[in-house]
Amino acid sequence: MSSLSLFDPVAMGPHSLKNRFVMNPMTRCRADVDGVPTAIMATYYGQRASAGLIVTEGTAPSPNGRGYARIPGLWNAAQVEGWKPVTAAVKAKGGTIFAQLMHTGRVSHPGNMPAGARVIAPSALQLPGQMYTDAQGMLDHPVPEAMTEADITTAIAEFVTASRNAVAAGFDGVELHAANGYLLEQFLSPVTNQRTDGWGGSTANRIRFVVEVAKAVVAAIGADKVGIRISPYGRAGGMAPYAELDDTYMQLMAALAGLGLVYVHMVDHAAMGNPAIPAEFRQALRKAWPRTLIVGGSFDLASAQQAVNAGEADLTGFGRSFISNPDLVERLQKGLPLAAPNGDTFYTPGPAGYTDYAVAAA
């Protein structure tokens, strides 16, 4: 076992990171009603720029992809302008920031979407349960429309436009959100993808949408600017285990490795009530992925350092602890106590529970 300090600089492809700490993507619902980032978002991300890599909150690539209230978008010029102060605030402190592109698919409600947007998914299978809307509170998820061939072509093009917009807004790259039960994972899993055309059925067909999105985005902005997040064995968004799961991810890794993506970000939500990712799967994924591997979920300093020492991860993702500790990296380095996050303000508008967490006293 080698010993690599998490606090030392490290390269991720051509990106020079200050350290091996990744701020996990976290939806915080502080954009405006049109999906334009607000000024407090620049403050928030700037405060956390000592992370080696920041991955933003899930950001909609298109109106159809905007399932939640007040999440930001990257499909129009106003949104690009709104993101510029965010990336500038992070860059001013020498940070690196990728935008997470999250198309919510069926995890959505028209009450959160721009007029004319549609709730779409690989198959017309309703997600059980309800979703919060600002206007009417909790409402049932609708039955999504099964995507037509034209819808699929459009959705791929929307990811491309959003990726170009991300670069124009000053991001170092984009993370394709293929985790947590959103549109990309809805295509991967036979639980949500029951298509009988070329986009469903066999493993090769189920991974095809993700691969085509990745291919198109790589062609548009370059492989060094494209990462992907996956959550194998996760249960978010109505996901469930299936027999071909391991094979699906191994085939996906092979295809993405060939495209040259700069990183894979695997999230293990065992501590959030999901089954743990089996050790054999982790090892197989590590072998199958030739470039930077980020692992995230419920780390503390010791377990993150252990994961890197054991060669299980190159970079380690921290989520909730970054919400309540803007100076998380410094606190961990100095052994200072961590503040606990307040879940009541995770998704509420305004600065409370967002930009008002203090840095540790010197």
Ligand X SMILES: Cc1cc2nc3c(=O)[nH]c(=O)nc-3n(C[C@H](O)[C@H](O)[C@H](O)COP(=O)(O)O)c2cc1C
| Residues with a known catalytic role | 182
**Shortest separation between residue 318's beta carbon and ligand X, angstroms:** 5
Do 13 and 292 contact (CB within 8 A), yes or no? yes
CA-based nearest residue to 126, from 53, 191, 207, 42: 191
State the virtual CA torsion across 95, 234, 289, 98 in degrees, nearest 10. -20
Please give the single-letter amino acid code of residue 77.
A
Annotate each residue in 282-301 with x if it binds ligand X (CB under 6 A) or - if it does not, as one string: --------------xxxx--
Q: Which two tokens stand for residue 111?
A: 């009450």
**Shortest separation between residue 306's beta carbon and ligand X, angstroms:** 15
Q: Which residue has the tokens 């060939």?
A: 258
Do 85 and 159 contact (CB within 8 A), yes or no? no
The yes or no reply on residue 22 touching ligand X (CB under 6 A) is no
Annotate each residue in 121-160 with x if it binds ligand X (CB under 6 A) or - if it does not, as one string: ----------------------------------------
Residues 219-238 that bind ligand X (CB under 6 A): 229
The yes or no reply on residue 320 touching ligand X (CB under 6 A) is yes
Do 32 and 70 contact (CB within 8 A), yes or no? yes
CB atoms within 10 A of CB 188: 26
Among 30, 103, 141, 177, contact with ligand X (rule: CB under 6 A): 177
Among 152, 176, 221, 267, contact with ligand X (rule: CB under 6 A): 267
DSSP H helices, the chain, are 39-47, 77-91, 149-168, 183-188, 203-206, 208-221, 245-259, 279-288, 301-309, 320-324, 328-334
Q: With CB under 6 A as the contact rule, which of the stretches 35-43, 174-182, 253-261, 304-312 interacts with ligand X? A: 174-182
Residues 85-114 that bind ligand X (CB under 6 A): 100, 102
Among 24, 47, 112, 325, contact with ligand X (rule: CB under 6 A): 24
Q: List, as one string, the DSSP characters of 254-277.
A: HHHHHHT-SEEEEE--GGGTSPPP
Among 35, 319, 326, 353, contact with ligand X (rule: CB under 6 A): 319
Annotate each residue in 37-76 with x if it binds ligand X (CB under 6 A) or - if it does not, as one string: --------------------xx------------------
Q: Which residues contribute to the site for ligand X (CB under 6 A)?
A: 24-27, 57-58, 100, 102, 177, 179-180, 229, 267, 271, 296-299, 318-321, 346
